[in-house]
């Protein structure tokens, strides 16, 4: 009579032992949670670092473009003093100024300056849009990993 009870207790105890069904279920859950606990922070840190790198690149490109535009403005403003030091250069400058080429270049640059700034703004907005799209896709992938 006691033998079936002992056998039943041994069977139930076997479920919780190392190779048992319940132990393997808890073991697989623990492995999934432990791997997620390690992988998800690494993924989030990677996404944040890539986002920061893209923003830093955007700031660097915009800053370089504004430095270039400011340098061109300075160059056109300082052109008479730069060319007045040499007689041959000043002669060529005087000829270009007398036919109106220098003023035409200044006017054209003033017109195209607006176009350059608007193209730069459009490119920056496109870059920001793609950055936000890539970031949201990566966070979606992280969410799918967390749900699995």
Task: State what percent of residues in the chain have pLDDT above 90.
Answer: 11
Q: What is the pLDDT of residues 18-64, one digit of tens each?
A: 666 666 666 677 667 677 777 788 888 888 998 999 999 999 988 99
Looking at residue 85, what is its pLDDT?
75
Domain boundaries, the chain: 39-147
CB within 8 A of 80, min separation 6: which ones?
A: 93
**Six token digits for residue 40:** 């998800």
136, pLDDT greater than 80:
yes
Spacing of C-alpha 117 from chain mean position: 21
7, pLDDT greater than 60:
no
């Amino acid at each position: 009579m006691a033998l079936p009870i002992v056998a039943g207790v041994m069977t139930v105890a076997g479920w919780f032992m190392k190779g048992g069904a319940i132990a393997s279920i808890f073991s697989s859950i623990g492995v999934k949670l432990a791997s997620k606990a390690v992988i998800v922070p690494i993924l989030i840190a990677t996404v944040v670092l890539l986002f920061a790198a893209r923003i830093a690149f955007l700031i660097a490109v915009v800053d370089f473009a504004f430095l270039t535009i400011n340098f061109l403005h300075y160059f056109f403003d300082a052109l008479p003093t730069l060319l007045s030091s040499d007689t041959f250069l000043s002669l060529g400058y005087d000829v270009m100024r007398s036919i109106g080429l220098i003023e035409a270049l200044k006017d054209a640059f003033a017109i195209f300056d607006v176009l350059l700034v608007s193209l730069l703004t459009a490119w920056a907005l496109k870059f920001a849009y793609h950055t936000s799209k890539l970031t949201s896709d990566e966070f979606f992938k992280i969410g799918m990993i967390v749900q699995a």
